Every structure is written in C-alpha cells, then in structure tokens.
C-alpha cells in the first residue's frame, strides 16, 4: 500500500474515532487522533498481523501502552477486519467488549493495557522470547509522552538495552500535551532523545504525520544490537481543527457540529457503520 | 524431625521440570541467591532471565514471555512482588490471563530482624482480591513438590508464597495435592484448626498438645487461599469452634476469608490468630511467632480459652 493511500485511510479512521467518541459521549479524542498515522502505517504496511494470524506464534506483536487512546486502535482493527465495523457502535456501552482501554477479549489485541508504564516491560518479554526461541517476529510498543514519567518504562528501557533487543521498537507519540498541560510544564522530558540514547537505544525522530517517512523508517531499520526508539512528533487531536494542540481535547467529546467540521477538514464524507 | 526450606524444594523441582521443557523459564530480580536459583542459572542459562532490582519490570517481562508461549516462574521476595508490582500482577498477569507463576519467597516474617520493609504480611489480602489469580501457600517441601507438578501443567496465573528457613516436614513424599481442595490432616470433634503455610505444622503441634489433655481437634491445611475450599470450611464449622492461624496480618488473610464464608453460610465461633494490626515485634521469625503465640502451645491455649467460654 502506498503512502497516499495509507494517509487517506488514516483520515477515514479519524472520522471513525470522532464519530465513536461522539456517539459514546466518552473517549480520549486527542491521543487517538495524534497516533493514527503511526498506527495506520504499522497495520497497513509493517505488521504481519491479520485476522487470520492472530494466534500465529510468528505474528509481530503490537502493544498500545497508552491504552486510553483505544479508539484509534479500534478504528484500525475494525477497518482491518479483526472485528465487525458495526460493533464500533457499542463502544463504551454497558456490556460491550469495546471498553475505554484495550483488552485481549478483542481479536487482535495482545494484552489488557491501560495502566500507564506497563507496555514496554511486556514488549521486552515478547522480544526476549523471540531471541531465546529464535523466532523472526518483531515487537512494537506505542507509548504516550506523558506516560514517560512512569518509572517502570525506564526499568524496561534498561532491560531492552541489556538484552540487545534489536527486534523491539519503542514508539512515542510525542504530541507534547498531557491531561494537565504541556509535558514540559507537568514533568519536563527534554532533552528527551538524549535520555533514550543514554539508556542504550537507537533513537530516531520523525514527523509522526509523515506517512512516507514512517514507512521508510520501519522498512529500513536493521537489527544492530540495540533496541529502537522512534520519537514521533505529532499534533494532539490532529485533523480536528478546533482541537489541535489543545490540552482540553485530551478527553473532550466533540459535539455534532464539531464532528461535522472535523469530517469536512479531514475530507471524509462520513462513516459506513454508524 | 526432617526439616527442609520450601524455597529449595521449589527451585530443585523447578530445575528438573525445566530440563524436560525448554519453555519453562525462571525470571528473577537480583534474587538468585535468596530464591536459591543459582543452579538453575548455571545449568539452564537460556531459560533464565535476570532483570536486576526491578520488580515491576520483572512481572511485565514475564507477561510478555508468557504471551509468546513460554511458561515463566518469576521469583523474588514476596514483600516486593506482592506490593510494589501488585498492579502488574493485576493487569499484565491476571486481567490479561497470562500464564505467569509469581513465586514470593521469604514470605511472612521470614526475614526476621530485617524488619517491616522486608516482611510480606499483606500479600494474601492483596493477591486474594485479584480476580483470576490463584493463591497458594505450601506447608512444606513435599507439598511444594506436589504443587509444582500442578503449576507446571496449569495454564492459569498464580501467586505462590513460601518462607525462607527450613520448616518441619508435615507431609510424606507423594502426598496428594489437589488445587482448591484443602487437606484434612487430623479429625476431632471439639474444634477445628485451619492453617496455611508454615502454620500448618504449628496447628498439628497444638492438636497433639490438646489431645494429651483430652481435647480432640481437627486440622485442615488450607494450602489454596484462592479459590477457597468453602465446603471444607463449612465441614470444619460442624465442630462448633474454628480457629485459624496464619503468618499474615489478621486483616484480610486466611482468618478473614474463613470468617466471610462462615458469616454468610454458617455463623460459628471463631478465633483468628495471626499478626496484629500494629508495628510488629522485631526478631527472628520464631521470636515473632513466640511473641504472638503463633506456636503449638500458643494456638492450644487459644483453643482452651475459647472452649471455656
């Protein structure tokens, strides 16, 4: 799939996200929109996971450590056929399996996540298992930038380098905002790339909305003894004009007019499941 | 009397099992010495994972190993695993239903004079409250070996707590272990003692002392704290007096669990023996047991006192 097609699909999935959150009257709009180009590149071009291979021992492993951004993840999984698109209507409804964080009751989701700072440790285990069992799969963990204050991430960062897990990718959705404000005001991260480098990781920065650049990165990265860290500079609530780069949109729910404005800005007519 | 450290029974049995199945892994946190995993690390380095002093990471890594089809036993001090990494056990292991066996060694007051930071006296309360997690306290090395056969074959997540020092033998080798089914070690009509872990031995001692004075008590080994064997608890209540003994805070442990069952189904006179809700007396584990009456004679006295009322 080429970059333009993936970018268009990412925008269609953004429409799914804002519709889902509007209908449920709940959700994490900002982070689900900022992560969608990354998720789309992974699922449309990088990961070998399909609805038919969810149990295959050699499937690539993906973990959404920033579990609150589950709406973006669900939009991608539904679009890829892991679950019926119509099921997105049940998001956050009583009794639904589509709740506000990933659970492995949903086909394609490896683990239950949502408590921040857990994903990279699990990813280290998955990647270490591949090394010890001599399996070819790779492991990808998507984290938030606010999440980086969790100490367990740095325990996992040490372990990833210690075991030379060059089959492991830590991807950070660096949209710069968390629920209370800028990451630099809440708990400063910078000089952020240097922190990861100091922990022994192969660090790259990229525009997290540049689909071609993301594809080039994932398809060219070679295993050279170090785990990989990709810092993706993104825009919180990307694609929703009234929400972009505003902390309030961490979990603000778009109203009907805002959904309409969002669809217009995304160049998307609507969704086929609502 | 033969004594044996349960942790050593565990590690030697785990090593033998792991030699037969390369999917069995041991994970630890700079605790290969205190767990007694040195032989395992040396003989099966490809199945051994050192995480350094990072308990949260150790549980998460183990969940990832399990997701990839391995069968990790993550082993370290019970005090740190049960509290510091409780969230990883709840979410990454139990909620996600990953086949991880969390092995808490030096549980209870095993670390003796090292003090409260190193005591695990809340772990039963915490681990029992996590849905989908089995909780076991082996009474001795023979039971540990029988339990290990189950743990190796089972796909379910579990927390297992064992002590540090050598404990007297309670069981013969090849003693039966059925998960979730408590063991009757003695039958008596006057009262029932329910113990877990090292306290099972002290309950048996109490029963002998009581028998010498004409009081016949039952002894039940509640090796499985979750899921709880309610049927056996209700059977114990037929004596009219149930006394529980545990190396754990009296809040939220074996006694609380038994009391919940009895309160709901068959209100029965009870004594809950354990560690009080206060800063603990300091000393070796036997000093602490003596201080709080968690000994054969201490338990027997409580039974006599309760029967007088």
Residue B98's contacts (CB-CB under 8 Å, 6 or more residues apart) are A111, B62, B63, B66, B67, B92, B157
| Beta-carbon count within 10 A of A185 CB | 11
- Please identify which residue in the block is written with the tokens 């285990």: A125
Do A72 and A17 form a contact (C-beta atoms < 8 A)? yes
Q: Averaged over B145-169, what is the pLDDT?
A: 97
B interface mutation test: which of A121, A124, A159 has the most B CBs within 10 A? A121
- What pLDDT is stored for residue A83 in this prediction? 97
Residue B184's contacts (CB-CB under 8 Å, 6 or more residues apart) are B218, B219, B220, B232
- Please identify which residue in the block is written with the tokens 């291979």: A53
pLDDT digits (tens, 9 = 90+) for B72-114: 999 999 999 999 999 999 999 999 999 999 999 999 999 999 9
Name the band, by pLDDT with cuts 50, 70 and 90, for residue B309: confident
Do B154 and B202 form a contact (C-beta atoms < 8 A)? no
Compute the CA torsion angle A273, A103, A27, A91 (nearest 10 deg).
30
Name the band, by pLDDT with cuts 50, 70 and 90, for residue B188: very high
pLDDT digits (tens, 9 = 90+) for A177-205: 999 999 999 999 999 999 999 999 999 99
- What pLDDT is stored for residue B1 in this prediction? 82
Bridge partners, A144 (sequence order):
A173
Q: Averaged over B265-278, what is the pLDDT?
A: 97
Alpha carbon of B19: minimum distance to chain A alpha carbons (Å): 15
pTM: 0.97
- What pLDDT is stored for residue B62 in this prediction? 99
CB < 8 Å to B99, chain A: none
Model ipTM value: 0.97
Q: Averaged over B104-133, what is the pLDDT?
A: 97
Residue among B49, B54, B95 whose CB faces A128 most closely: B49
Q: Where are the domains of chain A?
A: 3-266
List of E strands, A14-167: 61-64, 139-144
Residue A271 has pLDDT above 90, yes or no: yes
**CATH 3.40.50.970 is right for the domain spanning B3-168:** yes
Do B134 and B179 form a contact (C-beta atoms < 8 A)? yes
Residue A5 has pLDDT above 90, yes or no: yes
CATH topology of domain A3-266: Rossmann fold (3.40.50)
Q: Where are the domains of chain B?
A: 3-168, 183-308
- B183-308 has the same fold as B3-168: yes
- What pLDDT is stored for residue B175 in this prediction? 84
Tell whether A123 lies on the interface with B, counting CB pairs under 8 A. yes
* CA–CA distance, B227 with B131 (Å, rounded to integer): 10
CATH of B183-308, one of 3.30.1310.10, 3.40.50.920, 3.90.650.10, 3.40.50.1580: 3.40.50.920
Tokens of A178: 């968390």
Task: Kindly determine whether residue B63 and residue A156, on different chains, have CB atoms separated by under 8 Å.
Answer: no
Q: Averaged over A15-30, what is the pLDDT?
A: 97
What strands lie across the sheet with A228-233, from one edge to the other? A61-64, A139-144, A168-174, A228-233, A202-207
Residue A169 has pLDDT above 90, yes or no: yes
A interface mutation test: which of B65, B68, B85, B98 has the most A CBs within 10 A? B68
Alpha carbon of B128: minimum distance to chain A alpha carbons (Å): 20
């Amino acid at each position: 799939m080429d970059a333009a097609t993936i970018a268009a699909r990412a925008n269609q999935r953004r429409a799914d996200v804002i519709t889902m959150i509007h209908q449920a009257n709940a959700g994490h709009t900002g982070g689900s929109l900022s992560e969608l180009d990354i998720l789309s590149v992974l699922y449309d071009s990088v990961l070998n996971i399909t609805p038919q291979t969810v149990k295959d021992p050699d499937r690539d492993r993906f973990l959404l450590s920033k579990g609150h951004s589950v709406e973006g993840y669900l939009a991608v999984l539904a679009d890829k056929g892991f679950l019926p698109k119509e099921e997105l209507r049940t998001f956050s409804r009583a009794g639904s399996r589509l709740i506000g964080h990933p659970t492995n009751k949903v086909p394609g989701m490896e683990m239950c996540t949502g408590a921040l700072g857990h994903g990279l440790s699990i990813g280290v285990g998955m990647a270490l298992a591949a090394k010890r069992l001599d399996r070819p799969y790779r492991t990808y963990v998507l984290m938030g930038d606010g999440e980086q204050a969790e100490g367990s991430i740095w325990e996992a960062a040490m372990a990833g380098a210690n075991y030379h897990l060059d089959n492991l990718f830590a991807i950070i959705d660096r949209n710069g905002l968390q629920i209370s404000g800028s990451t630099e005001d809440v708990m400063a991260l910078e000089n952020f790339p240097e922190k990861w480098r100091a922990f022994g990781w192969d660090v790259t920065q990229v525009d997290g909305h540049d689909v071609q650049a993301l594809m080039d990165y994932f398809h060219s990265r070679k295993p050279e003894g170090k785990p990989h860290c990709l810092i993706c500079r993104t825009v919180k609530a990307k694609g929703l004009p009234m929400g972009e780069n505003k902390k309030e949109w961490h979990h603000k729910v778009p109203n009907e007019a805002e959904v309409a404005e969002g669809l217009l800005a995304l160049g998307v007519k609507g969704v086929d499941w609502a | 009397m033969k004594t044996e450290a349960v942790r050593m029974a565990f590690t030697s049995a785990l090593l033998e099992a792991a030699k037969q199945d390369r999917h069995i892994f041991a994970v630890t946190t700079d605790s290969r010495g205190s767990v007694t995993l040195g032989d395992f690390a040396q003989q099966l380095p490809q199945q051994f994972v050192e995480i350094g002093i990072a308990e949260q990471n150790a549980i998460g890594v183990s969940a990832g190993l399990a997701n990839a089809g391995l069968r990790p036993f993550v082993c370290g001090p019970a005090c740190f695993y049960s509290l510091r990494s409780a969230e990883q056990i709840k979410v990454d292991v139990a909620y996600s239903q990953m086949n991880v066996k969390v092995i808490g060694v030096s549980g209870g007051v095993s670390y003796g004079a090292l003090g409260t930071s190193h005591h695990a006296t809340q772990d039963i309360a915490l681990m029992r409250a996590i849905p989908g997690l089995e909780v076991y306290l082996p009474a001795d090395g023979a039971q540990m070996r029988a339990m290990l056969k189950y743990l190796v074959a089972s796909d379910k997540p579990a927390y297992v707590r064992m002590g540090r020092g050598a404990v007297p033998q309670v069981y013969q080798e090849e003693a039966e272990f059925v998960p979730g089914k408590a063991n009757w070690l003695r039958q008596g009509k006057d009262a029932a003692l329910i113990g877990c872990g090292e306290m099972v031995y002290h309950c048996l001692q109490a029963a002998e002392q009581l028998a010498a004075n004409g009081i016949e008590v039952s002894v039940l080994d509640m090796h499985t704290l979750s899921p709880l064997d309610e049927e056996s608890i209700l059977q114990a209540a037929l004596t009219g007096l149930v006394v529980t003994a545990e190396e754990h805070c009296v809040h939220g442990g074996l006694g609380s669990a038994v009391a919940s069952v009895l309160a709901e189904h068959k209100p029965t006179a009870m004594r809950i023996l354990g560690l009080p809700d206060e800063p603990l007396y300091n000393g070796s584990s036997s000093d602490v047991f003596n201080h709080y009456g968690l000994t054969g004679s201490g338990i027997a006295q409580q039974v006599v006192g309760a029967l007088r009322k």
